[in-house]
Amino acid sequence: MIDYRVRDLPDLSALGQLRQAAWGGHDDGSAWSRILEHSLTWITAFDGTELVGFVNVAWDGGVHAFLLDTTVHPGWARRGIGTELVRRAAAAAREHGGLEWLHVDYEPHLSGFYELCGFTPTPAGLLRLDRFFWLPFPPVPSPPGYHLAHDRRTEKALRGRQTGQGRRCAGHVRLDCPAL
């Protein structure tokens, strides 16, 4: 049986290991304490003592919250844990009060997953801040690894490269209406 916890600080190295297992790359967990300090809430899922799922909810301080880092360990995938994490995250955001919208962005293959979670697909945009800058004239030389766009045509041409992750989709759900 899976135990879901709201805003309960997990062992951060276990969170890093979960992230590595689900997303690849390296995560020693050290960045999470700073990230969670800024969160409205987060939900964890445990199987016994093992952290197997996580989702974070960021907040603008007003009516918008943002679902981030929905994660289920591959060994526990397709058992409904991801859907339940998102459902509980939306419920916790709703209970907080005053929030109207929960937003998410995701890769196209997860559109069915987020629709199951109650999200409506919506046009949205994404700008990669650590790789892309739009600057007015006069042009300045680009530092290595950075793209500086000085006009709309260049900006458009660079846009495809800025996320480095292919196409993203987005969705939102209203929080100020009856529970999911």
Does 78 participate in binding ligand COA (rule CB under 6 A)? yes
Shortest Å, Cβ 87 to ligand COA? 9
Cα–Cα dist 50/28, whole Å: 17
Greatest CA separation for the chain: 61
Shortest Å, Cβ 21 to ligand COA? 9
Segment 79 to 138, residues that bind ligand COA, using CB under 6 A: 79-83, 106, 109-110, 112-113, 116
Segment 13 to 42, residues that bind ligand COA, using CB under 6 A: 22-23
124 by DSSP, 3-state: which? Answer: coil
Cα–Cα dist 16/60, whole Å: 25
From 41, 44, 56, 71, residue interacting with ligand COA (rule: CB under 6 A)? 71
Q: H-helix or E-strand containing 135?
A: none
Segment 150 to 179, residues that bind ligand COA, using CB under 6 A: none
Gap between the terminal Cα atoms of the chain: 22
Tokens for 14, please give them.
């276990």
* Nearer to ligand COA among residue 117 and residue 175 (C-beta): 117
Q: What number of chain residues touch ligand COA (CB under 6 A)?
A: 18
Distance of alpha carbon 122 from the chain centroid: 16
Contacts with ligand COA, residue ranges (CB under 6 A): 22-23, 70-72, 77-83, 106, 109-110, 112-113, 116
